[in-house]
Structure 1
Amino acid sequence: MSDLSLKLDENQKAMEYANEGIFIARKEQTLFKLDEMYCYLAEAGTREGQKADEDYIKAYVISSVSEDKRVFEKLKSKVKDMHLNIF
């Protein structure tokens, strides 16, 4: 739902859905889709004029250890372009 909300330019809804997904992942103690939720949260926050560096970093680090490298590859260039200091 967060992804769909982003596509519809409903940034506040996207952040709400992403935060709910993060809450569920933490509650269930799983990394499943957690990288994507932080990515959606960062993207929506950026669109709303918020500083989202920390969320991008969380998404990047979590995606670096996940089996699905799709988010990691997407974030590699984003992190580099933003000049974020990961390590």
Structure 2
Amino acid sequence: MKDALFMFQSYGIQLAGATEKVDQVLYNENLNIPIAVVMGSEERGIQPSVIKMLDYKLKLPMLGDIASLNVSVACGAILYEITRQKMS
């Protein structure tokens, strides 16, 4: 995994990962750049050593008592926002 991430970075591709443990909200970031999205497992999230490699550590804003989303739902929301920004 890390080798692939280093390769992306060597080609100028920024790395973004989803985690609820940060304050950077997905919708406040410019994602209209060459970017790769890293998603963690449902149980453990992204490994701490991989989180250190990320250029963007993003979270989706949540309302109410929901702490996090299913990884496929979160990934879909992130990919949609990247696409929305690239289209505008």
Q: Fold-level match, TM-score > 0.5?
A: no
Larger Rg: 2
Larger helix proportion of the pair: 1
Structure showing greater relative contact order (alpha-carbon pairs closer than 8 Å, 6 or more residues apart): 2
Higher strand share: 2
State the TM-score, normalizing by the size of structure 1: 0.31
